[in-house]
Amino acid sequence: MNGTSGHGLGAYSHSKGLAHVRETVANFIEERDGHPADPESIFLTNGASEGVFAVLDLLIRSPQDGIMIPIPQYPLYSAALTLKGGAAVRYFLDESNSWGLSVPELERSVAEAKAQGVTSRALAVINPGNPTGGCLSLEDMQGVVQFCERENLVLCADEVYQENVYVEGKPFTSFKKVVRDLNSSVELVSYHSTSKGFLGECGMRGGYYEATNIDPKVVEQMYKMASVSLCSNLTGQVMMDLMVNPPRPGDASYALFKEEREGQLARLKSRAQKLVSGLNSMEGVTCNAAEGAMYAFPQIRLPAKALEAAKNNGKAPDALYAMELLEATGICVVPGSGFGQEEGTLHFRTTFLPGDDKIDQAVSKMQDFHSNFMKKYA
């Protein structure tokens, strides 16, 4: 591989990452979107999270600078904003519309922040969604781009689950493609990672971000900041190269790769459907279809006695539920209060990653526990 000849993976690379890998990533983006990609606008990182931190470092100048984040949200964003001294400008996803995103809600959120003296600098979008499992429609995405253009916001697109789409009629479309198709001037930073998809190499810490419509002088500052840490780890860079340049038709290994890839995604889709169906069979539980990513985010409606017990124990009600589920079954879910949720609602995040031989058993255990929980607090 260019840049490692004679050194294996033990030498530093260019601070943006190996030129060969960035070229491969650019080719992947071009094939995916049908629009050009510049390797010099691509930065290889130690996972997508590092890219998020790098961009927030550029955006946040004071506690009055805000970043719009979805609720429910992956806690990386709220934690990073706390660490860097910025303000979280929360906008709510629409649970009644498959966790969709509406421009009026974005307008409400940015106006409310402005009234509190907060200047919104960027809008973060997670698509497919974590923790919701929702996938944005093309119409929603176009509305987001046009909103960011009007409000002069940088659009930060977390697209690490782009391989994980299980619903018909909502194929993954990148925000890069939407921006280019609309001929928009909106500033865009897009993230991807080796941690998700069907590869799931989370320990390799491979990722990248691409800067689109960003002023070249700002990209120069991104380069300076990347240079402080010299470069991301070479193993993760190589893993990224393999992920975006898999075997192709005509390659000796293509048939096996295709079989394994399609099999893995089909199993994830089947497990998602089993999990959501099982959740929706439970008293007081409603769960949107897991359209993408690796999660379901059901809403749970608990009896008054459960709410009272949680209060007496100094816990959020969904945390009480999650802890009792863990103690009774060994199944770990994350309370919705850890991700943010609309006032008066309770949720938890669960996943459909357990193998085919375990998912039915897990769903059955959750159903039995839930039935007993509701009786206990009836």
The first and second tokens of residue 297, run together, are 């985010």
Within 10 angstroms of residue 266's Cβ, the number of other Cβ atoms is 11
Q: How many CA atoms lie within 13 A of 38 on its CB side?
A: 8
Rounded to 5 degrees, φ, ψ at 14 are -55, 150
Ramachandran quadrant class, 250 (left: phi over 0; alpha: psi -120 to 50; beta: rest): left
The first and second tokens of residue 272, run together, are 């998602």
Residue 6 has pLDDT above 70, yes or no: no
Q: How confident is the model at residue 355 (pLDDT cuts 50, 70, 90)?
A: confident
DSSP assignment of 183-230, as one string?
T----EEEEEESSSTTT--GGG--EEEEEES--HHHHHHHHHHHHHT-
Residue 237 has pLDDT above 60, yes or no: yes
Q: How confident is the model at residue 209 (pLDDT cuts 50, 70, 90)?
A: very high
% of the chain with per-residue pLDDT over 70: 98
What pLDDT is stored for residue 85 in this prediction? 92
- Strand-pairing partners, residue 42, are 210
Which has more pLDDT, 197 or 346? 346
Cα distances (Å, whole numbers) of residue 30 to 24, 34, 37, 45, 184: 10, 5, 6, 20, 17
What pLDDT is stored for residue 204 in this prediction? 76
Could you tell me the domains of the chain?
A: 19-244 (3.40.640.10), 271-376 (3.90.1150.10)
Within 10 angstroms of residue 26's Cβ, the number of other Cβ atoms is 20
Residue 1 has pLDDT above 50, yes or no: no
Residue 142 has what DSSP assignment? Answer: H
Q: What is the pLDDT of residues 78-121, one digit of tens each?
A: 999 998 999 999 999 999 999 999 999 999 999 999 999 999 99
Report which of 155, 148, 207 is spatially closest to residue 176, judged by C-alpha positions.
155
Which has more pLDDT, 313 or 155? 155
What pLDDT is stored for residue 33 in this prediction? 96
What pTM did the predictor assign?
A: 0.90
CB 353 within 8 A of CB 130: no
Q: How far apart are CA 139 and CA 181, in angstroms?
A: 13
CB 316 within 8 A of CB 353: no
Mean pLDDT, residues 12-29 taken together? 91
Q: How confident is the model at residue 182 (pLDDT cuts 50, 70, 90)?
A: very high
The first and second tokens of residue 363, run together, are 């769903």
Report which of 332, 171, 336, 198 is spatially closest to residue 263, judged by C-alpha positions.
198
Contacts of 63 (CB under 8 A, 6+ apart): 85, 86, 87
Mean pLDDT, residues 215-230 taken together? 90
Mean pLDDT, residues 255-262 taken together? 92
Mean pLDDT, residues 134-151 taken together? 95
What pLDDT is stored for residue 48 in this prediction? 87
Q: How far apart are CA 138 and CA 133, in angstroms?
A: 16
Report which of 355, 347, 359 is spatially closest to residue 73, judged by C-alpha positions.
347
Residue 2 has pLDDT above 70, yes or no: no
Within 10 angstroms of residue 245's Cβ, the number of other Cβ atoms is 15
Residue 309 has pLDDT above 50, yes or no: yes
Element containing residue 343 per DSSP (H, E): none
